[in-house]
Amino acid sequence: MPGWFSLLPGLLIPAWFWIAQLHGWPFWPAGLLLIPLAWRGAGSLQLPRWALLGATVLGLAAVLARRELPVLFYPVLMNTAFLTVFGLSLRASQTVIERIAHLREPDLPPAAIAYTRKVTIAWCIFFGLNGLIALWTTQQDRMIWTLYNGAISYLLTGLMFAGEWLIRQRVRRQTHG
């Protein structure tokens, strides 16, 4: 199975929300997509088992009850899982960001290690705020939920990646000379 195929459920969920919103269809069938997405995410992203189980329960609950509410909590669950992984790594010998940085640059200087800690903290703040907004949207009109969780949240994540990359280039120039 091609690698991109495992990303398909993650791309289909936001697409389903938009299509369902535009046509007045129910959101609950997206629960069918949560299960393979959770299993893919748990393995490739090394998310905690409780996140895998939580996503599976949300997906099954949505499908069995034919209710959208469980699906609406999926972004809250994922942000909580990422916040947990990144936050707990602050107590470990290496943060998540430092481990990723070591893949490209095995001999990181102390300044770069300090920088990766700050980036990890920034991602923790991001996941915390993003999760709180996602939680707030569960109680709002479905168009607000769809707009935030199916577009704005992805845009903000992309901006976070791009902003961090730009800052990293500047920090690298300053430390390397």
Please report, in tens digits, the pLDDT of each residue of the chain (177 residues total).
444 455 566 667 777 778 887 888 888 888 887 777 766 655 555 778 888 889 889 989 999 999 989 999 999 998 999 999 999 999 999 999 999 888 888 888 888 889 999 999 999 999 999 999 999 999 999 889 989 998 899 999 999 989 988 887 787 777 765
Q: Rounded to the nearest 5 degrees, what angle is found at the Cα of 10, between the Cα atoms of 5 and 13?
A: 125
Distances (CA, A) of 12 to 8, 33, 105, 133: 6, 8, 35, 22
Question: How far is 85 from 77, CA to CA, in rounded Å?
Answer: 12
Q: Any idea where the domains of the chain sit in the sequence?
A: 1-72, 79-177
Question: How far is 156 from 139, CA to CA, in rounded Å?
Answer: 21
Q: What is the pTM of this model?
A: 0.85
